[in-house]
Amino acid sequence: MIKDTLKTLIIRDLEKLKQEIQAYQNEAKLWYVEKSISNSAGNLCLHLVGNLNTYIGAEFGKTGYVRNRADEFALKDVPRAELVDKIEKTMIMIGKTFDMISEEQLKEKYPAEIFLKEASTEYFFVHLAMHLGYHLGQINYHRRLLDN
């Protein structure tokens, strides 16, 4: 039950992420930072895609994804079409991977080393979904504040 809920909510929020990235009137503003806003929408998008592909795709989907977290925040001017493609591929990965995960696996300790010691996979996946929602809100606010 929680597996289907997580899958649905993560895909829903990735779809919203795609819509937010596409909603920027000025593509260059995806990479804009000002004053105390230190992360651009483009970098947050790369970070979210990297996060989900690492902790869900690579670990459970055995996708072979190798994360470069530093690049998620260092890269600039990645074309919008490339960001959208990464989001769409992440949505597909989430769908396929959650279809492979059992409810029993969710109750087990998350298998990789993470900062949440002894967290169940279910707990960690809820954390990842909330992390996605948190940054999605930042991107929405960034767009409305700085893309004018």
Contacts of 89 (CB under 8 A, 6+ apart): none
Instruction: Give the number of residues written for the chain.
Output: 148
Q: 37 pairs with which residues across the strands?
A: 34
Band of pLDDT at residue 117, cut at 50, 70 and 90:
confident
The candidate with the shortest Cα–Cα distance to 55, out of 133, 127, 107, 135, is: 127
* Percent residues over pLDDT 90 in the chain: 90
CB 52 within 8 A of CB 10: yes
pTM of the complete model: 0.96
Listed in sequence order, the DSSP H helices in the chain are 2-23, 41-52, 59-60, 69-74, 80-100, 103-107, 121-146
The pLDDT of residue 112: 86
The pLDDT of residue 67: 97
57-84 residue pLDDT tens? 999 999 999 999 999 999 999 999 999 9
The pLDDT of residue 107: 96
CB 56 within 8 A of CB 94: yes
Q: 34 pairs with which residues across the strands?
A: 37
Quickly count: other Cβ atoms within 10 Å of residue 74's Cβ. Answer: 10
Q: Which amino acid is at 71?
A: D
If you write DSSP's letter for every residue of 83-94 in order, what string do you get? HHHHHHHHHHHH
Give the residue-averaged pLDDT of 24-39: 94
39-60 residue pLDDT tens? 999 999 999 999 999 999 999 9
